């Protein structure tokens, strides 16, 4: 198993001491990884899994392509919509898989990963275009994830799962960021929950127009699971904006819902407004009010 990350201290710690992996069930130490900072240091791989922010895909692909051979399968396990289309610039569609997970994560220190998985299936993926290569890769990944304790599913049609995850993320992730609240706190507030619900309903309308099943009953049924498992959590966009002050994934979440809505003629005013707000926030980190400076 090869791990690649530009976070050198994280890679060095895992290489030397293994990774401390903390879940609701306890803590364990994972060892045996080969780690490096750039994919160009690797030999040609059978499967390359991308888990960087979707906004960073093109930035890393020049290095990644050095370990991609004529039979390598590229797998996007990234948040948002359109990740499979992004990879089609680099390899044929019949060597692309895509999916996502419902696992909140935090890296409090190098070599330490805190995992907050939801109940049920925690990782799902499928082929962009079904082929012998994607079938073999998908079955192998499913076996590996499940053997490691992550409930995974290799789907014939992964699109409903991708859209459901992206829509839910666009609600609680973005509203938590704007309100500067944890997921449970945003959901507990009448107005916060109203905003999240409006995002979800717009996203479901766009998904139906795109030929996806009606996702609203699934989202509604999963809401309590979300609160129970991720309620005490600042989601990834909140971490990016409030803690690290860096670019967020808004363009592949609410922004993608807006773009698909325009394509299919579905209004998305709440998603549009939240997209503009987050873009304005991340474009002005250095000028925002700071009580310490004041």
> Edge to edge, what strands does the sheet with 103-109 contain?
26-30, 19-23, 112-117, 103-109
Phi, psi of 20 (to 5 degrees): -80, 120
pTM of the predicted model as reported, rounded to 2 decimal places = 0.83
Mean local confidence (pLDDT), 85-98: 96
pLDDT digits (tens, 9 = 90+) for 11-55: 999 999 999 999 888 999 999 999 999 898 899 999 999 999 888
Q: Is residue 293 over pLDDT 70?
A: no
Return the minimum-mean-pLDDT range out of 36-40, 143-147, 153-157, 173-177: 36-40
Mean pLDDT of 56-83: 94
Q: What 3-state DSSP class applies to 37?
A: coil
In the chain, CATH 1.10.1040.10 covers: 159-285
Q: Which helix (H) or strand (E) holds 60?
A: helix 57-64
Residue range(s) of every CATH 3.40.50.720 domain in the chain: 2-154
Q: Select from 3.40.50.300, 3.10.105.10, 3.65.10.10, 3.40.50.720 the CATH code of 2-154.
A: 3.40.50.720
Architecture of domain 159-285: Orthogonal Bundle (1.10)
């Amino acid at each position: 198993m090869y791990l690649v990350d530009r976070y050198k201290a994280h890679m060095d710690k895992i290489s030397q001491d293994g990774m401390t992996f903390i879940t609701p069930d306890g803590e364990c130490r994972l060892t045996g990884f080969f780690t490096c900072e750039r994919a160009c240091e690797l030999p040609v791989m059978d499967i390359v899994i991308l888990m960087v922010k979707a906004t960073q895909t093109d930035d890393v692909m020049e290095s990644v392509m050095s370990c991609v051979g004529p039979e390598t399968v590229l797998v996007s396990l990234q948040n948002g919509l359109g990740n499979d289309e992004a990879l089609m610039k680099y390899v044929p569609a019949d060597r692309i898989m895509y999916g996502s997970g419902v696992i909140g994560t935090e890296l409090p220190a190098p070599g330490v990963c805190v995992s907050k998985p939801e109940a049920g299936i925690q990782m799902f993926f499928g082929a962009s275009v079904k082929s012998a290569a994607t079938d073999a890769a998908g079955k192998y990944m499913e076996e590996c994830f499940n053997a490691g304790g992550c409930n995974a599913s290799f789907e014939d049609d992964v699109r409903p799962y991708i859209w459901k995850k992206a829509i839910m993320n666009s609600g609680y992730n973005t509203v938590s960021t704007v309100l500067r609240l944890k997921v449970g706190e945003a959901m507990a507030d009448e107005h916060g929950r109203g905003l999240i619900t409006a995002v979800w309903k717009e996203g479901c309308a766009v998904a139906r127009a795109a030929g996806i099943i009606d996702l609203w009953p699934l989202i509604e049924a999963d809401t309590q699971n979300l609160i129970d498992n991720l309620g005490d959590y600042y989601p990834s966009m909140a971490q990016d904006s409030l803690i690290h002050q860096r670019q967020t994934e808004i363009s592949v979440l609410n922004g993608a819902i807006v773009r698909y809505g325009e394509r299919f003629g579905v209004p998305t005013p709440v998603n549009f407004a939240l997209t503009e707000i987050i873009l304005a926030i991340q474009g002005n980190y250095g000028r925002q009010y700071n009580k310490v400076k004041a």
